[in-house]
Structure 1
């Protein structure tokens, strides 16, 4: 059509968690896991540990649930986890571990920060079987968790009870990579996510920091301050 401009999609800034929100989320999960249980098994701490590993690696929820004991190197000089699979649930098929993440190029080794390493070690100590192919996070009978079970039934229910809104696994991923971008730059953030194109990281995962470098005020004062 002539003389008609194209529709513009409004720009949305990726939502990330603040430090205060992360603290509130951790407290809510801890309270939920320690609550009195009148019937059924007690929570075994996996939800909180999964969240810590997501924050510490910026991995997708399916990638975290697919971590095997063989993927861990917690005692190395730089403790590492290898992100090398994902959990897949297809209609008509049992939930299973896929042998690569979202793409084959997404396989990566990620250094574990202290809080994530503590979660990993606590989980390993609680495993009934520690064979190399055993999943770090699994159901009580050793089968893979579905991503929907963690995302919807557990995380959403806990956050609803705590009155905390809009908490999703992908928000943890964006929060972690935004923190890396702020300190280490876009290229490092993109590598952490396993992206081949940093533009994808910048557009979809990183919240833009609106605060400009305050050094500009000093430079402009030098340039124009004398005139006043």
Structure 2
């Protein structure tokens, strides 16, 4: 008579025997996750201890199912990292710059700490302590490390190497609340004057200004677009009859690769058509007259050879010009916050969020709008009427 077939992850009748060493050995048939029934055995000082050890061994095998690939719970963490990076490459859903950022964060922040551990040894407590220690040095580094560690371990969970993702259960990372800052109208006037002074050739150091920096700043002030999006504007994206500009791409500079125009901005919502105020439209018209081509694919802002400008070069140029007049804290992204703060104060957060291309106004409020600390003066009249 044949034995009844075991279901996957279960064991059959347990038998015990005394070995020559006088230790008791417990044995049972166990059906593994690959469907193969194997003999599992464990030993102890007594029959009860041996049986307990055998059950614990079977439970351990039952909890962790071997993956379809080469990874197991006992694989070293670096093996998972390489597998995860390959998986990202195969999915091809992330921008090149994002993939490179993930790899850099993994190799510099996470891998040095976890390189000698197996996947089984990476639990909630270990991840929690790692992120807390890193946060003491830099909350930004801790945030980046949490992202990549969670993504890598999530792949192990999806492939049934681990039962759960320990990063999902770590304590929430706390960071100091940063109040978004924006330029005042007086600061904008000073910045424009500094750029005009520089473009007039008053600074003898460095290459001769080509007039693009001032126009770039005017377009940023007139659209709230990111610096990469502004540098990616083509002739075909401009409609002077309205006038308006369509944001359809961004400039990227992948590591060890040439700077190129990416055919989409940061997100799908970021594709938008923005009507230009007069000062920005004038800057665009002036720049179009300077171009020596009518190619619709030609970039509005480019090098003398027609190649894309890098965002870092524009930042460095802006820093240099502001340094000439001792103005600090001027960055392309601060222009973006300045624009959205102005729109919010005049027309509300919904319109401000649309202008930025955000899917959630809460992001706009948290990261872009400078809080107005002066409350509606109507409260004074109401309180005077009630208690005066």
> If the length of structure 1 is used for normalisation, what is the TM-score?
0.91
Q: What is the distance in 2 between the residues matched to 1:106 and 1:61? A: 13
Aligned residues between the structures: 219
CA RMSD after TM alignment: 1.8
**CA contact under 8 A between 1:49 and 1:120: conserved in structure 2?**
yes
Q: What is aligned with 1:135?
A: 299
Query: Which residue is equivalent to 2:238?
Result: 72
Task: Give the gaps of 5 or more residues in structure 2.
Answer: 1-124, 126-170
1:91 aligns with 2:287: no
Alignment partner for residue 202 of structure 1, among 333, 340, 365? 365
Q: State how far apart, in whole Å, the 2-side matches of 1:9 and 1:216 are.
A: 33
Q: CA deviation at 1:73?
A: 0.6
| Aligned counterparts of 1:205 and 1:199: Cα–Cα separation in 2 | 10
Deviations 1:169-209, CA, capped at 9 Å, x for gaps: 00000000000000010000000000000000000000111
Native 8 Å contact 1:174 1:205 kept in 2? yes
Offset, 1:219: 1.1
Based on CA coordinates, which of the two structures has the bigger radius of gyration?
2
Report SS of the residue matched to 2:261: strand
Choose from 282, 289, 296 the match for 1:118: 282
Say if 1:151 and 1:168, in contact at 8 Å, map to a contact too.
yes
> What CA distance in whole angstroms lies between the structure 2 residues aligned with 1:212 and 1:54?
29
Which one of 28, 32, 39 corresponds to residue 198 of structure 2? 32
Partner of 1:42: 208
Q: Structure 1 residue 162 and structure 2 residue 328: aligned?
A: no
Question: For 1:110, what is the secondary structure of its paired residue?
Answer: strand
**2:26 corresponding residue in structure 1:** none
How far does residue 35 in structure 1 lie from its aligned partner after superposition? 1.8
Which has the bigger relative contact order, CA under 8 A and spacing at least 6?
A: 1
2:381 is equivalent to residue 218 of structure 1:
yes
- Describe the shift of the 1:40–1:141 C-alpha distance in structure 2 as closer, same or farther (beyond 3 A): farther
Cα distance in 2 for residues equivalent to 1:39 and 1:24: 21
Structure 1 unpaired stretches of 5+: none
Runs of 4+ in structure 1 off by over 4 angstroms are: 5-8, 36-41
- The CA distance in 2 between the partners of 1:8 and 1:163, in whole Å, is 34
Quote how far apart the aligned CAs of 1:92 are: 2.0
Q: Is the 8 A contact 1:56 1:112 kept in 2?
A: yes
- Aligned residue for 2:251, secondary structure, equals strand
Q: Are the counterparts in 2 of residues 73 and 81 from structure 1 also a CA contact under 8 Å?
A: yes
TM-score by length of 2: 0.54
Give SS of 1:145's match.
coil
Mapped to 2, the partners of 1:140 and 1:162 lie a distance apart of 27
Q: 1:120 to 1:204 in 2, by over 3 A?
A: same
